[in-house]
């Protein structure tokens, strides 16, 4: 194979890897954006429910109990969603670099 053919093949391989990575990028960004939106909607809904419950409470002890339950629930939800979203980001980075890793492995061989 001549140098020009090698350059052409390498350019084609790089283009193919970039396209594959871009397709993965688009799908991953959509998934991550949906996860963020779902969490934001849930947080708003939970906050709204908390406020509506809070307005109907007349006893200070019940207010504190309700507040404690809400804070605990909000924290647990945040931690779970943060873990889920961080796993999505990790998977995103792994998947978008796979085509280039395969290309590097192929060229090294």
Give the C-alpha separation, 78 to 92, whole Å: 21
Domain coordinates of the chain in residue numbers?
A: 47-109
* Residue 109 in this model has a pLDDT that exceeds 70: no
Residue in the structure block whose two tokens are 């409470």: 57
In terms of pTM, does the model score above 0.95? no
Give the C-alpha separation, 21 to 97, whole Å: 7
Give the pLDDT confidence of 38-95 residue by residue, as tens digits. Answer: 999 999 999 999 999 999 998 999 999 999 999 999 999 999 999 999 999 999 888 8
Give the C-alpha separation, 91 to 32, whole Å: 10
Give the C-alpha separation, 51 to 29, whole Å: 33
* Residue 108 in this model has a pLDDT that exceeds 80: no
Per-residue pLDDT averaged across 84-107, rounded? 86
């Amino acid at each position: 194979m001549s140098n020009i053919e090698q350059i052409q093949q390498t350019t084609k391989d790089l283009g193919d890897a970039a396209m594959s990575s871009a397709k993965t990028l688009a799908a991953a960004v959509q998934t991550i954006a949906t996860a963020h939106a779902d969490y934001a909607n849930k947080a708003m809904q939970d906050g709204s429910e908390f406020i509506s419950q809070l307005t109907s409470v007349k006893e200070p002890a019940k207010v504190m109990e309700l507040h404690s339950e809400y804070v605990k629930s909000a924290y647990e939800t945040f931690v779970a969603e943060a873990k889920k979203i961080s796993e999505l980001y990790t998977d995103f980075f792994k998947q978008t670099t796979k085509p280039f890793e395969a290309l590097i492995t192929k060229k090294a061989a």
